[in-house]
Amino acid sequence: MNESASSLPMAPLDECVQPQEIALEFRGSAREYFRIWIVNLCLTLATLGVFSAWAKVRKTRYFYSSITIDKTPFQYLAEPLPILKGRILAALLFAVYWFSSSFYLPALPWVLGAGVIIAPWVISRSMAFKARYSAFRNMTFDFRGNYLGAAQAIYWLGLVPVLVIGTMFEWWGSWEAAAIAFTAFTLTFPWWLSRLKSYMVSYASFGGERGRYSATGGQFFRVYFVAGLIVVGGGVLSAVTAFWVVPPSMRSDWFLILMSLPVYAGYVLAFAYVQANISNLVWNHTRLGPLRFRSTLSGRGMAKLYFTNALGIVASLGLLTPWAVMRTLKYRADNMRVLVEGELTALTGAKRSAVQAAGAEMGEFFDLDLSL
Amino acid sequence: MNGAWFALRGYYYDGRQPLRRSATLEIAAGEATLLWEEQSRRYRAANLLVSPRVGRADRFIALPDGGQFQCGNHASLDRLPQHSVTEGAVAWLEQRVAVAVASVVLIVALLAGGYRYGLPAAAQQVAAKIPLETEQTLGEQALVWLDDSDWFQPSGLGQDTQDRIRWKLEELYAELPYAQHYRLEFRQAEYIGANAFALPGGTLVITDAMVKLAESDEEVLAILAHEIGHVELRHVMRHVLQDSAVAVAAATISGDAATLSVAVAGLPSVLAQAEYSRDFESEADDFAFRLLRKHGMSPEAFASVMERIEGDCECDPGALDFLSTHPITGERIERARAAAQGLGTTESESK
C-alpha cells in the first residue's frame, strides 16, 4: 500500500512514443453469478415482472464490477425505480403496438410511423442513460448526442436498407428486382452501420474528452463481404455433398436434415465473424483523449464460444446460462487492451459529474431506460 | 457506530482525475478520517454512503465532498450507512446457496403452475371482459383477404342447401351469449379441402367439400358446433393473450442467453403454443358435444364425420406428431363416441 499516487504509470512528457498498455482483468465467477441470476429471475417471475428493474440493476452491477482496469472496477450507478418507470412506459407503448398488430391492422402504419418518429429519441436517450450511469474511478461517462443527430444517423443512409426490407413482398419472387434490391442493400448497409457507430462514439465522452471515430464504411463492407463468402461456402459444401458425393439411394429425410448442418454452421460462423470483427473495427478506430483501445476478438473464438454455450445451455435446461454469460464476458475482457498515450491527468472530471453520480437515483424522467 | 473503531484500507478517487491513490479510512467515534499521501480529510461517519454489495467485488463509499473510497472489507462496510436498503436485502439473498436452490425449485413450480393453471385461468378471465367486437375487424379483414386470394372461390352450393344449413344452425346458437355475432359463409376452397373454421369475431366458414363430405345435416352441424365452441369460449382472444404471455415469459427467462446470441431462445414458446392449441380443440369438442345433446342430436355425428375426414386425408402424422396443433383424430373420435353414450367429460363441466 506504499505505492505512490497513481497506479497507472505515466510516460514522461518528453518521450510519449511508447504507449502504456493495460489489460482488462475479469473477476466474475459463474458460481457467484449463478446465485445472483437465479434469485433475481425467481423474484422477477414471482412479482410478474415488476422486479425485473431490480434484476437488471443487480446483474448489470455484477457485470460492471467484474471488469477491472488496474485494480479499479467499473461502476453501474443506475437505480431500479427510474428503470421500472421506463419499463412501464415501454410496456405501454409495446401494448399499443401489440394490440394494433394483433387486432387492428389499419392502425399499424400509424403506430409504426410513430415508432419511426420516436426511434431517434429512444436511441439518444438510452445511450445517454447508459453513459451517465456508468463510471470509472469516480468519473461518469457522458453522451451528448441529440435527437437530430440520431435521426440523421439512422435515416440518412438508413433509408435504403429500410426501404429494401420494407418492400420485401414487392420484390420477393422476381429475380431482377431481388438482385437490384440486394445490390442496393449491400452498397448502403455497411456505410449506414458505420455512420451509426460514429454517432455512438463521437458523442460519448469521458473526463471531458469526446470519442473520436475513424473507421470507414469500406472497412465494414469488407467484414460483411467475408461473412457472405462464409455463408455461401457452407451452402455450396452441403449442396455438393448432398447431390454429387452421396448416391440418391441414401438421400433419406434424415440425411437431408443432416446436410443442412453445414449451412447452419456457416451461418453461425459468419455471425461470429461479424460480431468479432465489427467489434474490433469500432474499438480499434476509437480514440478518447490519451486513450486508444486494442480489441483482438476472433471469429473462430466467438464461434467456438457460441457453439459450446448453446450446447451447455440446452443440455442443462438453461441452468448453465450464467456460466455461458461469464465466459463470454471473460473472453471479451481478455481480448481488450487499453493503450495510454500521454498522461491520464489529461482526463478531468467536472465536480458536477461526481455529484450527479451520487444523486443518480433522482434520474430525470427523460433519462428513462427504454430497453425492454 | 459510536465507540466503534476500525480502519479500512483501499483506494481513494477524488472525482477530478482518473487516478487511483492508496488510502486508509479510519472510523472512530462517529468520525471518519481519510488518509492518503500525507494528506487527510475528516467526515461525519453518518454522512458516508456505501454502494450495494454485489458478489465479492469491491464496494465504493461515497464521500460528502464528491470523493470516493474503494474497499473490499465487506464485514466492516456493512457497519456504515448503506446507499440502498432494497438492494441490500437482495444482496443478502444472493449470497446464500440454500436460497439459490430454493429459487430453482420455486421457478420450476411457478412456471409449471403458471403455464398449466395460472395463465389459462387468467387469460379466460381477461378474455371474458374484452368484448367480441374487438376481434371483428380482424375477422372481416381476414375474410376479405382470403376472398381476394386464390384460397377462396364463391361457393358452388345451391341457395336452398345454404339456407337450410343456416336456418338449422341458427336454431343451434339462438340461445348462446354471442348469438347475434354469428354469420355462416360458404366457400369453395380447393387447397384446403374438407374443412371449417371460425374467424375472429364470430364468422364461421365452411368449405363446399366439407358439406359434400358430410352425409347428413347433423354432421355439418356437428362440425359447426365445434367452431361455435371456439367463438363462445373466446379461443382467439385467449390464444393471443396466452401466446403473448408465454413469449414475454420466455424472453424474460432466456434474456441472458439471448444476449449471447444463442439460437435456442424461441424454442420453448413454439412448443408451448402447440400445447395450448390442442387444449382449445378438446375444449371446443366438449362444448360441441354438449350443444348437440342439448338440441337432441348425438355426438356420434361428429365421430362419423371425423372418421371420414381422416380417411380423406393422406397426411402422415409421423415423427412431428407432438408439434401438431390438433389432438390426434382417433382420440377425438373416441371422446365423441363416449359422449354419445352419455359418458366422458360432456356432463361434468371440467374446463
pLDDT of residue B320: 43
Interface of A with B in 313-342 (CB under 8 A): 313-314, 318-319, 321-322, 324-325, 328
Picking from B11, B12, B13, B20 by the largest number of A CB atoms within 10 A of its own CB, the best residue to mutate is B20
Distance from CA of B88 to the nearest CA of A (A): 10
Residue B84 has pLDDT above 50, yes or no: yes
Say if strands B21-28 and B5-13 run parallel, antiparallel, or are unpaired.
antiparallel
**pLDDT class for A119, splitting at 50, 70, 90?**
confident
Indicate whether this complex's ipTM tops 0.95: no
Chain B residue at shortest CA distance from A139: B15
- How far apart CA B16 and CA A372 sit, in angstroms, is 34
Orientation angle between helical segments B235-253 and B267-294, nearest 10 degrees: 160
Q: Tell me which range, A108-112, A295-299, A361-365, is most confidently predicted by mean pLDDT.
A: A295-299
In the prediction, which pLDDT does B162 show? 93
Rounded to an integer, the average pLDDT of B327-343 is: 80
**What are the residues facing B34 on neighbouring strands?**
B25, B41
Q: Best-predicted range by mean pLDDT among A317-321, A368-372, B137-141, B163-167?
A: B163-167
A355 → chain B, closest CA residue: B66
CA of B270, closest CA in chain A: separation in Å? 15
Residues of chain A contacting B110 with CB distance shorter than 8 Å: 42, 45-46
The pLDDT > 90 percentage for chain B reads 47
Q: Please name the residues in contact with A19: beta carbons below 8 A apart, sequence gap of 6 or more.
A: A11, A292, A339, A340, A341
pLDDT at A227 over 70: yes
The answer to whether B202 and B232 have CB atoms below 8 angstroms apart is: no
A62 touches chain B (CB under 8 A): yes
Provide the pLDDT for residue A244. 72
Q: pLDDT of A201-226, one tens digit each?
A: 999 999 888 999 999 999 999 999 99
**Phi and psi at residue A244, in whole multiples of 5°?**
-115, -40
Mean pLDDT in residue range A44-56: 91
Q: Is B187 exposed, middle or buried (0-12, 13-18, 19+ CB in 10 A)?
A: buried
Least confident of A14-18, A176-180, B137-141: A14-18
Banded pLDDT at B266 (limits 50, 70, 90):
low
User: Which of A327-336, B165-174, B315-324 bottoms out in mean pLDDT, i.e. has the lowest?
Assistant: B315-324
Task: Write the residue in B20, B49, B257 that is nearest to A324 by C-beta.
Answer: B257
**Among B56, B70, B260, whose Cβ lies nearest the Cβ of A72?**
B70
> Using the 8-state DSSP alphabet, how is residue A7 labeled?
S
Contacts of A1 in chain B (CB under 8 A): 9, 22, 24
- Top pLDDT among A359 and A142 is at A142
Judged against a pLDDT cut of 70, whether residue B277 lies above it is answered with: yes
Instruction: Indicate the helix (H) or strand (E) that contains B34.
Output: strand B31-36
- Kindly give, in sequence order, each residue whose CB lies less than 8 Å from that of residue B174, ignoring residues fewer than 6 positions away: none
pLDDT of residue B268: 57
pLDDT (tens digit, 9 = 90+) per residue, B229-245?
A: 999 999 989 988 888 88
- Residue B261: pLDDT band (50, 70, 90) is low
The predicted pLDDT at position B223 comes to 92
Share of chain A above pLDDT 90, in %: 34
Contacts of B234 (CB under 8 A, 6+ apart): B124, B127, B128, B130, B132
Query: Would you place residue B347 in the very low, low, confident or very high pLDDT band (cuts 50, 70, 90)?
Result: very low
Residues of A in contact with B91 (CB under 8 A): 58
Q: Kindly provide the b/e burial profile for residues A183-218, where b requires at least 16 CB atoms within 10 angstroms of the residue's own CB.
A: eebeebbbbbbbbbbbbbbbbbbbbebbbebebebe
Cβ <8 Å between B22 and A71: no
In the block, residue with C-alpha cell 452491477: A61
Mean pLDDT throughout A157-168? 70
Model confidence at A370, pLDDT cuts 50, 70, 90, reads very low
Distance CA B90, CA B92 (A): 5
User: Please, which residues bridge with residue B183 across strands?
Assistant: B203
Give the DSSP H or E segment for A257. Answer: helix A253-259
Residue of B nearest to A67 (CA): B57
Q: What percent of chain B has pLDDT over 70?
A: 86
Q: Given this model, what pLDDT does residue A241 score?
A: 76
Single pTM value for the model: 0.81
User: Would the pLDDT of A266 be above 80?
Assistant: yes
**Quick one: how far is CA B154 from the chain centroid?**
37
Q: What is the b/e burial string over B143-180, where b = at least 16 CB atoms within 10 angstroms of the residue's CB?
A: beebeeeeebeebebeeebbeebeebbeebbeebeeee
Q: How far is CA A119 from CA A124, A149, B248, in A?
A: 9, 12, 22
The predicted structure's pLDDT at residue B325: 54
Check if the beta carbon of residue A46 is closer than 8 Å to that of residue A19. Answer: no
Per-range mean pLDDT, top range of A16-20, A63-67, B257-261: A63-67
| Mean pLDDT score, B263-292 | 75
H/E element holding A305? Answer: helix A299-315
b/e sequence B311-329, b meaning 16+ C-beta within 10 Å: eeeeeeeeeeeeeeeebee
Residue A364 is predicted with a pLDDT of 32
User: What pLDDT does A76 receive?
Assistant: 93
Question: What are the cell numbers at B286?
Answer: 366438449
For the residues A82-105, what does the mean pLDDT come to? 80
CB B43 within 8 A of CB B34: yes
**The pLDDT of residue A128:** 83
Residue with the bigger pLDDT between A366 and A327: it is A327
Position A17 scores a pLDDT of 56
Confidence of residue A37 (pLDDT cuts 50, 70, 90): very high
What pLDDT, in 10s, does the model give residues B43-62?
998 999 999 999 999 999 99
| Closest C-alpha among A23, A8, A347 to residue B15 | A347
Q: In whole angstroms, what is the distance from residue A94 CA to residue A92 CA? A: 5
Q: In whole angstroms, give the CA distance from residue A10 to residue A26.
A: 23
Helix (H, G, I), strand (E, B) or coil at B217: helix
Q: Which is more confidently placed, A110 or A294?
A: A294
Half-sphere CA count of A190, side-chain side, radius 13 A: 22
**Which A-chain residues 208-267 have CB contacts (< 8 A) with chain B?**
none
